[in-house]
A = this chain, B = another copy of it.
């Protein structure tokens, strides 16, 4: 039996708002793993998050954590935003037949939700991995080598890793790292600056997603 390998290493040439490239690590090696977020419904008190993509319990919890943190992060930058209170959001991880689990999609999930809320795309040359705590601390993950290889194979130029994996990365052979720029972060705000660049106020001028 055995699950089929991840096939679509670069599903998106350019990613729309709400879509972020993460990095996964399986027994068969590393692979890219997109998080896709979309609005299901809008309305006062409709705030919620639904996940699909055959996610395990830890990954479902990551999505809940991501929503709570994304809401408070957006709030800290833009006190008028009620996006997460007023929108029910659906987060999907293709491919539907491949079971997925673990906490390392945390940064990808938060970034996907913020990208959707701000209606602002993330640069497509960027991939990320890292566990997020409820206050935005970034915790280390596994599979640094496999994820680096997978990111390069998908023409990623910049990878976001947790600071706690800095030494793992330094120990990799140079040929694995060539052509890739690694960024090490300990707080989510650093991921935000890399992925969604300019300020939330500025982005919000474009208006929230009205899908």
The interface stretch among A23-31, A90-98, A146-154 is A90-98
Instruction: Tell me whether B92 and A102 are in contact (CB under 8 A).
Output: no
Inter-chain contact A85/B41, CB cutoff 8 Å? yes
Q: Decide if A207 is an interface residue (CB 8 Å cutoff).
A: no
State whether A164 touches B54 (Cβ < 8 A). Answer: no
A133 touching B61 by the CB < 8 A rule? Answer: no
Residue among A7, A8, A53, A92 having the largest count of chain B Cβ atoms under 10 Å: A92
* Closest residue of B by beta carbon distance from A94: B133
Instruction: Determine the chain B residues whose CB is within 8 A of the CB of A37 once the complex forms.
Output: 134
- The answer to whether A135 and B36 have CB atoms under 8 Å apart is yes
Asked whether A118 is an interface residue with its Cβ less than 8 Å from the other chain, the reply is no
- Cα of A139 to Cα of B65 in the assembled complex, Å: 29
With contacts A8-B139, A47-B41, A137-B12 taken as known, whether A96 is within 8 angstroms of B106 at the C-beta atoms is yes
Interface status of A52 (Cβ within 8 A of chain B):
yes
Contact B135 A38 (CB under 8 A): yes
Q: Is A199 an interface residue (CB 8 A)?
A: no
Q: Which of A54, A64, A85, A135 has the most CB of B within 10 A?
A: A135
A68-119: which residues lie under 8 A (CB-CB) from chain B?
Answer: 68-69, 71-72, 75-76, 85, 90-92, 94-97, 102-103, 106
Chain A interface residues (CB < 8 Å from chain B): 4, 7-8, 11-12, 16, 18-19, 34, 36-41, 43, 45, 47, 50, 52-54, 57-58, 61-62, 64-65, 67-69, 71-72, 75-76, 85, 90-92, 94-97, 102-103, 106, 131, 133-135, 137, 139-140, 142, 164, 211
5 contacts between A and B (CB under 8 A): A7-B164, A11-B139, A38-B72, A94-B131, A94-B137
